[in-house]
Structure 1
Amino acid sequence: MTSMDMKLIKMISDHYWLKHDTVVDKIDFKGRTFFNKYERIDKTLTQAIIDQHLKKQITVAHSLINKFDKVENIVIDYNGTDPQRFYHKAQLLLREEGFINFTAFETKTPGHLHVYIHKGHTTLQEANQLGKMISMKLAAKQPKQWRMFPSLDLPMEYNILNLPYEVYAKERGASWSKHM
């Protein structure tokens, strides 16, 4: 994966999250306890760190929510068994809903996808509502095998995603959109 592919995500790069083998932090949130294995590193996410991640020497995650509670991407974290079928259905739904910029990335686990919907500067509240709407419409067409990010049901420390490894497919405001 090239650095240009990474720029499609518009990641928050003023900090990153480094995964450890042991629990780093215990978080109490809305009556639930979360055990976090990611440590927040308040340094710039550089290409050298990304390269280490891509070589699978370390596992790095990025935040989806910036310090102003704004979101650039709404993400579908697909953990099912048929990524081709899922992506096809998601692609059709996203087009129908008017989202013309989205990219699907492969994760470390074969068959799992992160579909980044490039929404742009959106409030956390609006991103959460859009995510729930997209999830509900997808669930009407197939069994639910995904999670939506960002989520208000998770602490901020859990609204992170591992950096992707490969581009699965991308959609960038295609010529078909003018015919809709």
Structure 2
Amino acid sequence: MIKMNRNYYFEYRGKIVTKINYKGRTFFDKYEKIERPLTLQVMNEHIERKKIIAHDLINRQRNIVENIVFDYNGIDPERFWNRASLLLREEGFLNFTAYHSKTRGHLHLYIHKGHTTVAEAIQLGKALSMKLATKLPKQWRVFPTDELPSEFNILNLPYELYKKERGASWARHM
């Protein structure tokens, strides 16, 4: 259901694969880029928890982003979903979906934006995050981000659907 680049994927190795210096900080990457297509078999191995697989949020060939993602790591996912969905509807976003991540109660909220430049997606993500932070204690990160190296704008594939909003029921009220 998530629109993503399936030409390659990242696999968690559990050890340092590369060392990256970015903006005066050192980052240690534990994901290895696999230059093979992300197939259904690989996704199933992730769901069965045999491997940890991540996808790239940035389409590097075209330098665009399809989704802005909130990585929620707080204690009340239901409250986060309610506040975030109200904010997103107010801001005119009709298509967004939340998925369970590996840790119980943590969510990945995908805002389906479509062909957006990376710079615009970063700016929009920061603006939405600031608006949401006025209503809730900040317990999330937003992707894509320019605070981390480009190689870190990846997310683990989700495990199962939490809730989704597809706009048809709300569109008539706008």
TM-score normalized with structure 2 length: 0.98
CA distance in 1, matches of 2:20, 2:59: 19
CA distance in 2, matches of 1:105, 1:37: 23
CA distance in 2, matches of 1:120, 1:74: 9
**Which residue does the alignment assign to 1:30?**
23
**Which residue does the alignment assign to 1:103?**
97
**Which residue does the alignment assign to 1:123?**
117
Alignment identity in percent? 61
SS of the residue aligned with 1:111?
coil
Equivalenced residue count is 173
Q: How far apart are residue 174 of structure 1 and its match?
A: 2.0
Instruction: State whether structure 2 residue 153 is matched by structure 1 residue 159.
Output: yes
**Which residue does the alignment assign to 2:3?**
10
Large movers: runs of 4+ above 2 Å: none
SS of the residue aligned with 1:154?
coil
TM-score normalized with structure 1 length: 0.95
- Superposed CA RMSD in Å reads 0.7
Q: How far apart are residue 176 of structure 1 and its match?
A: 2.2
Structure 1 unaligned segments of length 5 or more: list them. Answer: 1-7
Q: Deviations over 1:26-60 (max 9, x none)?
A: 00111110000000001100000000000000000
**Which residue does the alignment assign to 1:139?**
133
Code of the aligned partner of 1:92? L
**Which residue does the alignment assign to 1:63?**
56
CA distance in 2, matches of 1:85, 1:175: 21
Q: How far apart are residue 173 of structure 1 and its match?
A: 1.7
Instruction: State whether structure 2 residue 59 is matched by structure 1 residue 47.
Output: no
SS of the residue aligned with 1:77?
strand
Q: Deviations over 1:123-143 (max 9, x none)?
A: 000000110010000000010
Structure 2 unaligned segments of length 5 or more: list them. Answer: none
SS of the residue aligned with 2:44?
helix
**Which residue does the alignment assign to 1:177?**
171
Q: How far apart are residue 106 of structure 1 and its match?
A: 0.2
